[in-house]
Amino acid sequence: MTVWLASVAARLQKTPVLSQRTRYAIRALLHLGDRYGQGPIQLGEIAEAQNIPAKFLTVILSEMKRAGFVDTMRGKEGGYWLARPPGEITYGDIVRATRGSLALVPCAARLAYAPCENCVDEVSCRLRAVMLSVRDETANILDKLSLAEHVAV
């Protein structure tokens, strides 16, 4: 059993369900949530505290700004802060903003639908039926959990 678990862990490292971008975005937003209401936080502080490459974090925080989660101010006293209270930002929102969908397969995506390669008959596909249920349950969980439940404020 231990060998099997090690094999699973190795596969998850190579192809995680959540991308590195999504995990970094969550960590950065949690960091900002810990300091909600305290003014701008400089990118370098977030990058260092969360062990995120600064260049990648710049791109991620730009995406989070476009999604409406973060505001910014340039200059010496500038930085980043949450644009909304932590309780108004759910994990589902963050995953959708970084990944585009909560679905594990393209044919189960709500907004980013695409037929799966090599699918014989989507209408009767039993795998799709399972993946639709997984997507819905994942959405139910992630849309109920907000940053507020995991920040230090």
The structure tokens listed for 20 are: 């590195």
Residue type, 131: M
Q: Is position 9 within any domain?
A: no
Q: Is position 83 within any domain?
A: yes
- The residue range of the domain holding 116 is 17-150
Q: Is position 7 within any domain?
A: no
**What is the tens place of the pLDDT at every residue in 102-115?**
888 888 888 888 88
Q: Is position 5 within any domain?
A: no
**What is the tens place of the pLDDT at every residue in 15-28?**
557 889 999 999 99
CATH number (domain holding residue 94): 1.10.10.10
Q: Is position 136 within any domain?
A: yes
Q: Is position 90 within any domain?
A: yes
**What is the tens place of the pLDDT at every residue in 64-83?**
999 999 999 998 888 999 99
Q: Is position 62 within any domain?
A: yes
Q: Return the closest-CA partner of residue 50 out of 67, 72, 32, 71.
A: 32
User: What domain count does the chain have?
Assistant: 1
